[in-house]
Every structure is written in C-alpha cells, then in structure tokens.
Structure 1
C-alpha cells in the first residue's frame, strides 16, 4: 500500500498500515515535543504526591528517579526499533507474535489505553468541579469532544499540544508551589526534610507505580517514535520523556505535598489546581485553560495509541477509528465507570511489560527477520505468559518488589531460552496459516 505524504495538510497520512517512509519522518524537536508533553500532566503530579506522602521527600524522589531510569531503558529500546524500522506497535507485534497473533498483543494494549483516555476525561470533569464548582458531567463532555478532535488531526497535533502543555505545566506548577510554601510558611530545608506521613507504600511499590503509569503507552511508543529520522533520534526523543518530563511531573506533585499544599495527600496526592484558584480572575481563567490543555494532551496521546492500534488490526483508517473510540471512551467516562479503572490499570504493570521485553529480545537482540507470513509464534506467547506469571508471583508473594522489572526480566529471559532451545534442537515453531499447520520460515 502506497500513500503520499503531504506535510502542508493537517490531515496528512498517518501510515497506519505501513512503515513511515523516510520522506515523511519528522525532526527530533517535533517527536521530542510529542513525548515530552505526554508525561507532564496533573495525573502524574497526583501519583508523585502520593509517593512523597508515604516515603518522604528524599526517598520519594529517589524512587521516582529509579522508576524513570527503568522506563528509559525499556521504552528507549522499543523506540530504537521503531525509529530504525518506521513501524507502529501493531506492525512490530505482527513480526514477533505473528500476523494473527498480534491481535492479542496490539488489541490488548489498544483497549487498555482507551481506559486511560476515559480516565483523563473523567478527571477533567472532577478537577473542574472540585476547583471551580463546575458540573463534572459538563466538563467531561467538553473534554471528550475536544480531545477526540485533537486526535484526529494526527501526530502533528500531538507535537503542537506538547509544545504548549509542557511549558505551561512547569510555569503554573512553580506558581502553585510558591503559593503553597508561602501559605504554610515552609522553607527549603523544611521541604527537603519532609519525612512523609503515610504507610501504604514501600520503596519498591513506589518504583512500580512509576513504571506501571507508562507501561502501556510506553510499550506502544512506536506509534510516536516511528516518525523519528533514525533509531538514535527516537531514543533521544524518549529521553526527554523518561527520565526528564516524567520525573519533573512526579517530583512537582511530591513537592506540592511536601509544602503542605494538598488537603488530602494520601488520596489526592500532588494535584495543585486548587493552589491556583482564588488569586484573581486572570489566574483562574488560565487554570481552567490549563486543565483542558494538560489533560487533553494525555487523553489525545492515549486515544492516538488506541486508534493506531485498532486501525492496524481492522485495516481501517486511524481517524474513523479514533472517532469511534472517542465516543466509547467518553460514554464510559460520563457514566462514572472511569473511577474504577485506576487500581486495575496500575496492575497492568504486571501484564504489559513482558510484551515489550519479548519484542526487544526478538527484534533488537536476536534481530530476527520475518517475511510476515507467520500467523502465530508460540515462543513469543509462552514468554509473555511466563513473564506475566513471574510478575504476578512477585506481586503477591513478595510485597514491595518491583513487579514490572520482574516481568521484563522474566519475559526476556524466557523468550531467549525458548528460542535457544528451539534452535538447538533444530525445530521451527508450528504456525497456523489459513487453517493449515506449517513451520516458520
């Protein structure tokens, strides 16, 4: 399938069904803006506040940094593959899990990110309600429509939005922390010596939260970084997100808690919109715009991931799929079901990372080449299952362990061992092609 890239059009090709050609690749600044603007969101500030509330400033920020370094290693490797090949996550999954097998991997993650999209819509409504008294339903509906419209413009819109959302987040966060510190009479020494007051999280659990927060979209990084000019450029763009932007977002939330700026830090964490209201009409208006820009950046990224994933599976265009998923996600959000997603989505740190680990070993370490004929590859599915099983065991039997890292290591080791065993005995994995059992090329 051949398409022509028209950079002057807002609705140019998104290359849903083929690798992005070299003529359509985008600059490092553009792709960095896509990734850098994604983690800079109020949700991550909330999580960062919860972590610091439980561990204290120094230990909390240390856990946040370690989690981000782990994310960089994981997402950076997947981004390198994407920048080198130009393939989306769905196309990557087809090479590793099989043309039909990719439905399980890509479909799973493309559905998971729809949950995050709904969460951001719901968070838009409740944030505006709590800070300004707006009806939550109205805020959520406006957000759902606006975020879907941004998504259908494509990768260019995500880049533009990131260039606005990230700087605005940093500036308003500094203002909020200054207000919080002033109201509480806190000094810099007081902030750094804050020891926390919660007991719900261990250090390892805090690291797991950081990794799990981007386990899904991080694994699907290829949908963004396939537009990079090279593998190295894709890694550089990823670095701006992990550790830079994600660490800043979490840390800002942690500092909000440390200065006493959160009324209920154990639940609300480091959300700081409340610190920006009540200081005049202008700042309040900016705060309202900030909610839509900030949460819209996250929601649009998630919907883009979901739309590219399902368009690859269904062989339909990204934009019609995005509109359909946007409607579904908005309905889920306004019914209030989104509020039940958070704990479940965080558990995806157990089930998602082994998928990326298998892709990394298959396409970066073993450098396997496929002609795309395989329907299913059982070694990839077995390694995914073993990695998830190891992470689940770690989660329940060894509280405080970093489940995501356990799953990555176990998935990678399992796949490497299974492929080594298969090649050692001279066997090829049995595949099913159009109902006929055969062997892989």
Structure 2
C-alpha cells in the first residue's frame, strides 16, 4: 500500500495534488517560463521573420502566442480546480483503457522533444568549441542522462533550476536583442527590411501555435500544483503568451538582422560566443527536465505505477537512444505531427470537464470508469481528421472540432437514452 509520504515524494503521479502541496504564482511562473524558453521555438520565429514585414510579423506572433496561451490557460484552470494532470483527466475523457492512447501520444511527443534537445546540445557544443566530432555521441549520452537530474527530483528540482536559469536567460536575451536592434539600424531600420520568403498568415499562426502546443497540453503537470484557478491562468499566460512569445520574437529578430534564427548563432555573430554556449545550456536544460518529467507522468498513468523516478530515468534512456539515431534531423515532420494530433486531446478534455461533468470530476477512487469512453474517442478521431485535412489553422481547427464533436455526441446520446426510457415507461 502506497503511503502519503511516498506519493508526495513521487509528485502524485496517480492522484490529485492536495491543497497543502499547492504552489504560488511566482513558483509556477518560473517553472513554466523555464519550460517555454526553448531553442526550437526561436527557429519557428525565424521562419516567420523572413516571410513578413516587421509590423505584420509582430501581429502574427501576438495572435499565435495569444491563442496558445489561452488554450494552455483553460487546461491549466481545469488542472488547478481538480488537482489532476492531463493523463489523469484523460481517464474521464477516454476511459480507463482508452486513456492509454493519449498517454502514448503525449509521452511519445515529449520524449521526441527530449531526444531533439539532447542531440542539439551535443552537436552545437562540438560545433561552437571545435571539439572532435567523435565526441558527439558520448556527449549525447552525458546530456541525455544529465538533463533528467532535476526532473528526477521532481517539482522542487524544476523550480530550483528555474530560479537560477530564467533570470539569467532574460538578461542574456535583453543584451542580445539590444545589440541586434542597433545592428539592424534601430526601429526605423527594422521597419525598412523587406521579407525574403513567402508564407500565409494561417500557416504562420499554425507554426507559432503548433510548435509548443504539446507542451501547452501537458502544462497541467505543473498547474495542478496551483493554489487556485486564477493562479494557474496567470502563470500559464505568463509562460505561453509572454515567454513563448519572447522566444519566437528573438528568432524573428535574428532572421531579420542576421539571417539566423537560433540565439546561439546570433550571439556568435555578435561576438558573444561564450554567453551563447551558456544560453544554449540553460535554455535546453530548463526545457529538457520539464519534457522528461512530462513523459514520466504520462508513463506512470499508462503503466499504472507510482514509480515516477524510475520512469523518468527510462524516458531519458529512450530519448538518448533516439538522439543517437538522428532525431536532430526529424524536427520539421515532428512539428507537423504535433500540430495535428495533440490539440484535439485538449479540446476533448475541455468539453468533457465543462459539458460532460459540469465542472466537477468525481474522485478517481470513488468512481468506476468504462474501459473505453466512445464519445471521447470518437470526438478525438473527428477532431484529428479535421485538423489533418484543414487548409486553415490546423491546431485550432482540431481543438474546436474535437470539443464541439464531444458536446454534440454527448447531448445527442443523452437525448436518445431519455427517449428510450420514456418509451419503455409508456409501454
């Protein structure tokens, strides 16, 4: 029988977070900001920076990040109110066995990000320092297991790292952007730069929203620690609208001024190579530990085990293997996969909570859930199909269609059951 102390030590992977363990908006904001400060997000911003003029670029980034922030904030609100993460909420939405589908999808995406970050750190460190290329694979192994240390500790480890890394990254980014603005000829010079590539606004917003939507879907792993729904919403918007927005803006700035989207390459061009390496390390570590933590939480729900620390190390091992096998080259198709199949999960969960359960989940220990929730699974399939085939903003289409499908199917099935009851009673 699992004791309360053991559950606390493992960060409550299979049960609600009690109110005695809830955190402040400051604590959560730091952890989530560390999560959203991610190198790949800057590359997405870089793609946008070369496709639009300065004013349109800012509008696209604002819309995309606001939509992402609102999406993550709604899920964060539900997590704070229930004390549950996405994996546990999926049991109500997809069923006891059906929830393993979302566990697999969410866990796979997070370990894919972990592999990409591990490979990126090793490859760029060799590139920037001039070390022999033969050290790339050994470095992947070192970083693959090293990055998971703070995640192994749990929420406190993530918070400790973020307290140090987030302020340092903000200072480094401010210095770099100040130099970039000067090199670009000031504000007037930036306005005069003409786009060199083409992209529709819908595609650009999809890129901004889709790049970190998997993280937004699993931000509930931390917002479930919030003291209130308001705390969760504020912390989530701070991280996903402002934090993610800053990362995409940096990438766009770099593309405009230096024709580079990555902050490390930008700092090298600015003569800040040493700071660039430090920035890369902090940037990736604060995301890597959150990512493998997400994998562990989803894995615990799939395997029905409270051994989060063991699953964390296992996830780091899988991520390291994928990094060695070449995950660095798979980023673009991986992003397309995320933007299509992750958002509908969040859409169905929202509809399940607000429409299906009327804003109040019963205690997991007091309810017997079906193996498969056909309504939730059908809504997910419909939402994913709509996102995959949509020429418009695929992630948003997936969320909206999945949520509406769940609501319509649920209401229609309830009406049919009531009608059958009336007919049977009349007979």
Q: Same fold (TM over 0.5)?
A: yes
Match of 1:417 in 2: 408
1:374 alignment partner, SS class: coil
Q: Secondary structure at the match of 1:35?
A: helix
CA distance in 2, matches of 1:22, 1:424: 38
Q: What do the CA deviations read for 1:83-131 (whole angstroms, capped 9, x no partner)? A: 0111122110011111111001122111111001111111112222333
What is the deviation of 1:2?
Answer: 5.7
Corresponding position: 1:343 with 2:340? no
Out of 22, 35, 46, the position equivalent to 1:49 is: 46
Residues matched between the structures, number: 409
Shift of 1:427: 6.5
Tell me the CA shift for residue 345 of structure 1: 2.9
Find the residue that maps to 1:54 and give its secondary structure: coil
Query: TM-score, structure 1 length as denominator?
Result: 0.87
Post-superposition shift, 1:160?
Answer: 2.2
> Which residue among 94, 109, 118 is the counterpart of 2:106?
109
- By how many angstroms is 1:27 displaced? 1.6
- 1:439 corresponds in structure 2 to none
* Partner Cα separation in structure 2 for residue 83 and residue 148 of structure 1: 25
Measured after TM superposition, the shift of residue 32 of structure 1 is 1.1
Deviating more after overlay: 137-146 vs 414-423? 137-146
Q: Distance in 2 between matches of 1:279 and 1:105?
A: 43
Alignment of 1:59-208 (within 5 A): 59-134=56-131, 135=133, 136-182=136-182, 184=183, 186-199=185-198, 201-208=199-206
Structure-2-length-normalised TM-score: 0.90
Displacement after TM superposition at 1:170 (Å): 2.4
* Partner residue in 2 for 1:32: 29
Deviation, 1:138, is 4.4
Residue in structure 2 matched with residue 304 of structure 1 by the alignment = 293
**CA RMSD, 1 decimal:** 2.3
- Judge which range, 48-57 or 369-378, deviates more: 369-378
**Which 5+ residue runs of structure 1 have no aligned equivalent?**
429-441
More helix per residue: 1 or 2?
Answer: 2
Per the TM alignment, residue 192 of structure 1 is displaced from its structure 2 partner at its CA by 2.9
Alpha-carbon distance in 2 for matches of 1:133, 1:387: 47
C-alpha distance after superposition, 1:172-203 (max 9, x if no partner): 22322344455x4622211133232112x211
Alignment deviations for residues 349-403 of structure 1 (CA, whole Å, 9 cap, x no partner): 1111111111101112343545242211101011111111111121xxx3xx211
Match of 2:237 in 1: 239
Instruction: Tell me, yes or no, if the aligned pair for 2:65 and 2:209 is still in contact at 8 Å.
Output: yes
Structure 1 match to 2:248:
250
Please state how far the C-alpha of 1:331 moved relative to its aligned partner.
Answer: 1.4
In structure 1, the residue corresponding to 2:226 is in which secondary structure?
Answer: coil
User: What SS class does the counterpart of residue 197 from structure 2 fall into?
Assistant: coil
Select 1:406's aligned residue among 379, 397, 401: 397
Query: Alignment partner for residue 379 of structure 2, among 374, 380, 383?
Result: 383
Which segments of 5 or more consecutive residues in structure 2 lack a partner in the other structure?
420-427
Partners of 1:168 and 1:349 in 2: how far apart?
30
User: In structure 2, what is the Cα distance between the partners aligned to 1:17 and 1:89?
Assistant: 11
CA distance in 2, matches of 1:139, 1:168: 24
Distance in 1 (CA, whole Å) between partners of 2:145 and 2:277 is 16
CA distance in 2, matches of 1:132, 1:377: 53
